[in-house]
Structure 1
Amino acid sequence: MKRDLPMEGKEWLLRRNCSLTPGQLGVAYALMCVFSFGVAAGFTLAGLWHILIFTAVEMAAVAAAFLYYARHATDYEHIVLADGSLLIEQVSAGHMRSVKLDTCWLRMHAPERPGELIHLESRGVAVDIGTFATAPHRRALAQELRYAITHT
């Protein structure tokens, strides 16, 4: 990801830890459908047609879960500290939100409890970051950000 900002600053990239790409997920779903509908067809031939209905409902539920997973597999947060400002790009389900904060006026609230995010605010603009990091990594990120901002 090349940006138009000078690289004198520091940057962080936080993203989901996904074990399957959307393409691999499609192949896995197709294999599940072939197996499940194959078994359901055997039961249908034996006269138990209601198994086919339950299989269709099950595969529809799995498809919904897989679509949600695939839609959010490429979500990330990109944080760039350069030229006295903090640029935060957050991508969720293909929608990007970009916020630029002035570090001179920046207030940071580090997470105190495991579920909390890092809250940043500058001149009335607020953003929460650290969605894709674990609680210990969020605290470490907050410390790194605070150090980088005060030493630039």
Structure 2
Amino acid sequence: MLVGTVAAACGGALVLWLLLSQERLPVAESVFPPDRNGDLLRDDVGELIAARFAGNAAAFAASSQLARAWQRAVRQTDPARLGPEVTQVRYAMSCVLSEHTLGKAKVDAQTMLHFLDLLHARMFDTPARRQLWQQYERSASRIPHGETPLNPCRFDISAMVG
């Protein structure tokens, strides 16, 4: 009754979905909250990326793409369905280490790799998260590499301000 009253008062179906949706999330979803701003990244991870690449939209977008790909990939627990997630992780890694991204970020590959190590450590900072990563790595290593597209970024990096 209360849920229906709140949903009607606040705008209906969207509010109702938001109130009930957490009950339908897979158990693995609970490994990565909180995401208060809705950017599909755990808040502390998003803050780490923003702090490192404040004012650099290209590097911020590329790093966020990789972090989101990592989060999605480790949630896929069925090895038979992991292929698309592995592909997205590989594309995101290619994006963040591309000449365009590195040039706009004004960093070399080694500096970016150091940041990615920090980012990975932040994302997988609990035993449960590390276990998900290890399971993902075991399964992903069996999936052959396909061809990487010319622009592996999920955005037009050339249009972004460095």
Q: TM-score w.r.t. structure 2 length?
A: 0.25
Q: Which has the higher strand share?
A: 1
Larger C-alpha radius of gyration, 1 or 2? 1
Structure number with higher relative contact order (C-alpha < 8 Å, ≥ 6 residues apart): 2
